[in-house]
Structure 1
């Protein structure tokens, strides 16, 4: 399958952060931070110049990354894990996933980092939702790559289409099938048997 190089703009709503305690890498998937309202990702490298007799010589420092996520405060386990990282120094794994950028294998473009929480600001205005603004101290240099988005993660981001049937462990869709813009437009297969007229 050829890789499409169609130029697309990326929207903030399609850019979401996931977190996992590094100590739990063998036991759980990365968890989405629920109800994100803002995500800031700012890798940077400071540079300086030194004058010499032969001209200016530029020097640069290592890459430092500012990573910050704002979200509506909630009772999710991953929201509590970020407190653990701040107070106990627990190392976290972080992903920034771009849901609107995929490769030929259907994987999503993402940044991967390891960090600890350096600040967790909590605002509680009487006429608004409680909010948190979490700043992560990123270790080393973020890495780029492509990843699969687990089904549970996709459902957490945007609920999937469901049918009228009962939801079971084997069928999370209730017998429904999500609309496919490529193949479903204009589809109408005539009935082969007798269908009762609507009342």
Structure 2
């Protein structure tokens, strides 16, 4: 049995998109996220009878809350559009450390309206946005791939200092580099040959040697 992995908050990310733009653009990572909270709840009403209490389950209500450092990314402005213009948006909570056999990421998908979007700006701290989304119907669970450019925003890989020729491969070899191998690289390394040859021995540098 494989070890059960604990999920960290930093690995849970929120993506969003206007529903009206589903055929035009990928879902976008909301930049500089600091917190995320999904709150599904189902109210239960009880009625006392002579035979005991009868519970009746109510409908599902779900709220999505996030906090991020205020910025002027396109998706940050679209959150304003949603609350000002009553526009439906799509949201994905993506767990970037949980993948399936097809290398797709586990995710919640939902649609909803931004119902609150306060801006808080303190003189001695970064300004923050705290949108609250009222989710329509039931969040759906599934697996999603991430576009390459979004993956680069989440985690970057090693690059050499050289110029990148053509499209970036993001495999550690861009810029004439080679990514660190944790199994074979520890303890390796030597002085460059050019540096070793430039070191003059004490004997050859002394006056008696001439």
Scaled by the length of structure 1, the TM-score of the pair is 0.86
Equivalent in 5, 8, 13 of residue 5 of structure 2? 8
More helix by share: 2
Q: Which structure would you say has the larger Rg?
A: 2
Map residues 21-170 of structure 1 onto 2, 5 A cutoff: 21-170=18-167
**Does 2:175 match 1:174?**
yes
Paired residues in the alignment total 187
Distance 1:19 1:110 in 2: 12
Unpaired stretches in structure 2, ≥5 consecutive residues: 187-191, 199-210
Distance 1:59 1:145 in 2: 29
Scaled by the length of structure 2, the TM-score of the pair is 0.82
More strand by share: 1
Distance 1:28 1:178 in 2: 32
Post-superposition Cα deviations, 1:66-93, rounded to whole Å, max 9, x if no partner, equal 1001000001000000000000011100
> Relative contact order (alpha carbons < 8 A, sep ≥ 6): 1 or 2 greater?
1
Distance 1:154 1:180 in 2: 21
1:56 is displaced (CA, Å) by 1.8
Distance 1:133 1:122 in 2: 7
Distance 1:179 1:34 in 2: 28
Unpaired stretches in structure 1, ≥5 consecutive residues: 189-194
CA RMSD between the two structures: 2.0
